[in-house]
């Protein structure tokens, strides 16, 4: 026979088992009906049923498109430096995407919506100052690429491409790992969601409904023209 002191403990355990079972049924009911308990949130979605892309995700995807252009710049610089054939029209087209999609759209979003909020909150101010300086320098380098791509390939063109790549790889990496997380912390959940809608509106206004994908498709076409469109080709031996 169990002692009297053990009875309350056994009763409490039985109660907790019952509560856990009831809680599981309640959660299952919420999942079935699509309701969410107070204090809990689910990822938001568009009317089409697709998950909503946050501002940070949006900007990081655009960094992915930029990185693919940097691979084009790498290949072009290598061909110039080794005396290989290079269609400079491909390079000029890549620089055109940098100008209209990276500089006139992506960087303008950062300069209009991201940097001012961090500066006002006194967050990452030194980083923001450096990023702004690099935006300005990047536009100068793009001017040089466009100008030099209209003439025979030169060592100066290869050097300009190398300068651009060397600056923008750490630039984008620092934004992804430091700037964007700080930005999200500053604006909060509600402001973050609202900015995501503004980013999408600006993209559609400038490039149409499928603006991002259209630019990525153009980048892929340029990769194919240089023979670097197959990801398997970058696999280490």
pLDDT of the residue at 86: 97
- With contact defined as beta carbons under 8 Å apart, do 59 and 196 qualify? no
- Residue 21 — pLDDT band, cuts 50, 70, 90? very low
- Report the pLDDT averaged over residues 217-234: 97
- Residue 58 — pLDDT band, cuts 50, 70, 90? confident
Phi, psi of 154 (to 5 degrees): -140, 160
The domain segmentation of the chain, as residue ranges, is 55-230
pLDDT of the residue at 128: 98
149-203 pLDDT per residue, tens: 999 999 999 999 999 999 999 999 999 999 999 999 998 878 877 887 888 888 8
CATH second-level architecture of 55-230? Up-down Bundle (1.20)
Phi, psi of 45 (to 5 degrees): -140, 155
Distance CA 64, CA 169 (A): 11
Is residue 50 pLDDT above 70, yes or no? no
pLDDT of the residue at 24: 42
74: nearest Cα among 186, 222, 202 = 222
Distance CA 203, CA 116 (A): 20
DSSP-derived 3-state class of residue 52: coil
The DSSP string of 123-188 is -SHHHHHHHHHHHHHHHHHHHHHHHHHTSS--HHHHHHHHHHHHHHHHHHHHIIIIIHHHHHHHHH
102-132 pLDDT per residue, tens: 999 999 999 999 999 999 999 999 999 999 9
Element spanning 218, H or E: helix 211-226
Give the count of beta carbons closer than 10 Å to the beta carbon of residue 53.
16
Percent of the chain whose predicted confidence (pLDDT) is above 70: 78
User: Considering the entire predicted model, what is its pTM?
Assistant: 0.78
Is residue 16 pLDDT above 50, yes or no? no
């Amino acid at each position: 026979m169990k002692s009297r002191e053990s009875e309350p403990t056994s009763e409490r355990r039985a109660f907790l088992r019952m509560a856990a079972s009831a809680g599981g049924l309640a959660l299952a009911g919420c999942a079935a009906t699509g309701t969410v308990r107070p204090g809990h949130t689910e990822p938001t979605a568009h009317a089409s049923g697709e998950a909503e892309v946050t501002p940070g995700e949006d900007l990081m995807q655009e960094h992915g498109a930029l990185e693919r252009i940097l691979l084009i710049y790498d290949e072009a610089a290598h061909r110039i430096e080794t005396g290989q054939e290079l269609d400079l029209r491909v390079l000029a087209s890549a620089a055109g995407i940098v100008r209209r999609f990276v500089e006139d759209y992506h960087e303008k979003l950062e300069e209009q919506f991201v940097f001012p909020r961090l500066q006002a909150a006194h967050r990452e101010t030194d980083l923001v100052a450096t990023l702004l300086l690099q935006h300005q320098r990047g536009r100068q380098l793009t001017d040089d690429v466009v100008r030099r791509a209209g003439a025979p390939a030169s060592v100066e063109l290869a050097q300009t491409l190398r300068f651009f790549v060397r600056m923008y790889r750490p630039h984008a990496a620092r934004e992804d790992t430091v700037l964007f997380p700080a930005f999200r912390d500053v604006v909060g959940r509600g402001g973050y969601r609202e900015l995501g809608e503004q980013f999408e509106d600006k993209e559609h206004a400038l490039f149409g409904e499928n603006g991002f994908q259209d630019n990525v498709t153009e980048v892929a076409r340029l990769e194919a023209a240089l023979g670097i469109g197959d990801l398997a080709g970058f696999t280490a031996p």
